């Protein structure tokens, strides 16, 4: 498909009706802004929607959903545009884009914050850190709050304060039939359960409410680097060390080539390394005690773990994940860093070719595991580590090789897979979605889907089909309104 074919199917009467009631910008394939507007973060995805509707508020969302229902066009919902497989844009369909909705309000008295769906993580951190507080969320500031939260939300503060959904108090959303609802523990508790892990399936979320917790503003944080040759020993040490660390400490291990950043000495640029990146969410002095054994292990090439503003630490991965580069991912949870997991991971990491590709492991546990597995739709609270293996290139050049490296690394870990984080999936099919939620939760989510989106209007996502996929045939879209 290209821009010309994307322009064809839009029903004129339905479009006119939308135009008459819509306040935001409507971008069609003949608009000079179209080519920029259809882009998302992952440059390897190129889709051609028939219409992009930039919503300024709930009324615009309701109008755009009505247009989708009337025309029967495929629908995608986009907030930060960071979906790995590009599910927030669709060929020949309507994209509901929430990016103009960037309102944030922090209430320091009640320690709560409200954030609209178009907010990016960096903006929320900036506002909450002004009051010395934070919402636990992800590790790259330009990621969208909405998509991240609705899948769970893992990051630097999760061992201390849980997933992003664990601090979520309510969501406002517009359902497939255009109804506006607020879901919380008290109102629509079933829906509130479902949006905490499978959120994109039940409606368009327009606003979130979060509980805030104290963080920083100075934290002990940063990477310590060792040569890749030492990775087997570093990981064995790490495996033992993390059995006894407090929940305040979150670590991510990354195996890659050292990036050419100003903080990395030039002689290390491009050298294969293993790094353990820490973020201690409590008192800095206490953090120094906890991190001391890690610093003392072996012979680090570089130690950048130091007191710094939480906001600065939150941005450390930004240069490694630039918008527009080509990305391919495979992810899995692994319960334990067994010798086999360590040896297989390091053997594959040693073969990484692109200076941008990485193999990362998030340490789970702590507050994530203290919430009951069935309390939210999110699956895998008892997991040990979330692996995220990504093949990254600046363009198509070398991408096929990186993709093959990612697949090989991931496949070698297959005997150890214990689940997968839904937000780290590509388009991998029904079985992988089942792995993300488990069979029982998937059944419960399907029942919820039948209640709130029986026609599967919201299907450009990690989709919960309303029935067993083999039995379910989506009904025909309603007939368009008569031309005026």
Binding site residues, ligand FAD, CB under 6 A: 41, 77-84, 87-88, 98, 117, 138-140, 143-144, 146-148, 150-155, 199-200, 204-205, 321, 423, 460-461
Residue 127 or 172 with smaller CB distance to ligand FAD: 172
Tokens for 333? 């949870």
CA distance 37 to 175: 25
CB of 476 to ligand FAD, least distance (A): 23
Residue with tokens 């990305």: 327
At closest approach, how far in Å is the CB of 388 from ligand FAD?
Answer: 8
Least Cβ distance, residue 318 to ligand FAD (angstroms): 8
- The partner residues of 184 in beta bridges, in order of sequence, read 170
Q: Among residues 373, 382, 404, which one has the least CA distance to residue 334?
A: 382
Least distance from C-beta 60 to ligand FAD, angstroms?
12
DSSP string over 260-284: --TTS-GGGTT-EEEEEEEEE-S-H
Q: Smallest distance from the beta carbon of 433 to ligand FAD, in angstroms?
A: 12
Minimum separation from the CB atom of position 186 to ligand FAD (A): 21
φ/ψ (deg, to 5) at 461? -165, -175
Q: Whole-number minimum distance, CB 432 to ligand FAD, in Å?
A: 15
* Torsion angles phi and psi, residue 89, rounded to 5: -145, 150
3-class state of residue 1 by DSSP? coil
| Cα-trace Rg, the chain | 22
The answer to whether the CB of 224 falls within 8 A of the CB of 302 is yes
Task: Rounding to the nearest 10 degrees, give the CA dihedral for residues 435, 137, 286, 232.
Answer: 40
Tokens 């369909």 -> residue? 93
Closer residue to ligand FAD (CB): 48 or 321:
321
Nearer to ligand FAD, 24 or 200 (CB): 200
Q: Least distance from C-beta 381 to ligand FAD, angstroms?
A: 14
Neighbours of 225 (CB within 10 A): 21
- Give the nearest distance from C-beta 254 to ligand FAD in angstroms: 12
The closest alpha carbon to 460, from 149, 95, 87, belongs to 87
Residue 88 or 344: the one with the smaller Cβ distance to ligand FAD is 88
Minimum distance, C-beta of residue 156 to ligand FAD, in the bound complex (Å): 8
Locate 309 and state its tokens.
């503003």
Taking the least distance from each CB to ligand FAD, the nearer of 228 and 448 is 448
Phi and psi of 151, rounded to 5°? -95, -10
Instruction: Note whether 207 and 183 are within 8 A (CB).
Output: no
Cα separation, 457 vs 177, in Å, equals: 9
Q: Which is nearer to ligand FAD, 82 or 313 (CB)?
A: 82
Separation of alpha carbons 64 and 66, rounded Å: 5
Unique residue bearing structure tokens 């005690």: 289
Measured from the CB atom, is 11 or 453 closer to ligand FAD?
453
Mapping DSSP onto H, E and C, the string for 150-216 reads: HHCCCCCCHHHHCCHHHHEEEEEEECCCCCEEEEECCCCHHHHHHHHHHHHHCCEEEEEEEECEECC
Question: Of 321 and 387, which has the nearer Cβ to ligand FAD?
Answer: 321
77 vs 277, beta carbon nearer ligand FAD = 77
Q: Crossing angle, helix 58-71 and helix 12-21, to 10 degrees?
A: 170
Residue number with CB closer to ligand FAD (228 or 359): 359
């Amino acid at each position: 498909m290209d821009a010309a074919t994307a322009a064809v199917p839009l029903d004129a009467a339905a479009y006119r009706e939308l135009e008459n009631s819509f306040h935001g910008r409507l971008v069609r394939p003949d608009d000079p802004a179209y080519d920029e507007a259809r882009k998302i973060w992952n440059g390897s995805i190129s889709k051609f929607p028939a219409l992009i509707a930039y919503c300024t508020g709930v009324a615009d969302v309701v109008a755009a959903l009505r247009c989708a229902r009337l025309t029967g066009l495929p629908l995608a919902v986009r907030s930060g545009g960071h979906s790995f497989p590009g599910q927030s844009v669709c060929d020949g369909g309507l994209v509901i884009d929430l990016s103009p909705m960037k309102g944030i309000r922090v209430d320091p008295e009640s320690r709560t914050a409200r954030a609209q769906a178009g907010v990016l993580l960096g903006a929320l951190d900036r506002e909450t850190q002004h009051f010395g507080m934070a919402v636990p969320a992800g590790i790259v500031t330009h990621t969208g709050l909405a998509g991240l939260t609705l899948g769970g939300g893992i990051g630097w503060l999760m061992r201390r304060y849980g997933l992003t959904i664990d601090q979520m108090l309510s969501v406002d959303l517009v359902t497939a039939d255009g109804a506006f609802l607020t879901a919380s523990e008290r109102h629509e508790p079933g829906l509130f359960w479902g949006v905490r892990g499978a959120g994109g399936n039940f409606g368009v979320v327009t606003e979130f409410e979060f509980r805030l917790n104290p963080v920083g503003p100075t934290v002990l944080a940063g990477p310590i680097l060792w040569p890749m040759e030492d990775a087997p020993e570093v990981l064995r040490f790490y495996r033992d060390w993390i059995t006894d660390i407090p929940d305040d400490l979150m670590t991510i291990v990354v195996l890659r080539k050292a990036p050419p950043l100003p903080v990395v000495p030039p002689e290390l640029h491009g050298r294969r390394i293993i790094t353990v990146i820490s973020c201690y969410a409590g008192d800095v002095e206490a953090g120094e005690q906890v991190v001391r054994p890690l610093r003392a292990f072996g012979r680090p090439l570089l130690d950048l773990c130091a007191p710094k503003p939480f906001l600065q630490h939150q941005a450390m991965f930004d240069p490694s994940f630039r918008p527009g580069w080509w990305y391919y991912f495979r992810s899995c949870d692994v319960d334990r860093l067994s010798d086999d997991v360590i040896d297989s991971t390091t053997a594959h990491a040693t073969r990484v070719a692109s200076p941008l590709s990485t193999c990362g492991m998030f340490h789970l546990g702590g507050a994530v595991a203290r919430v009951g597995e069935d309390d939210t739709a999110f699956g895998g609270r008892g997991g040990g580590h979330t692996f995220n293996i990504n093949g990254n290139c600046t363009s198509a050049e070398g991408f096929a090789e990186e993709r093959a490296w990612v697949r090989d690394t991931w496949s070698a870990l297959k005997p150890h897979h214990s689940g997968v984080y839904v937000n780290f999936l590509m388009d991998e099919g029904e079985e992988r979605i089942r792995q993300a939620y488990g069979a029982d939760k998937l059944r419960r989510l399907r029942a919820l889907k039948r209640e709130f989106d029986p026609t599967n209007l919201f299907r450009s996502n990690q989709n919960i089909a309303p029935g067993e996929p083999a039995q379910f045939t989506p009904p025909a879209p309603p007939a368009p309104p008569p031309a005026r």
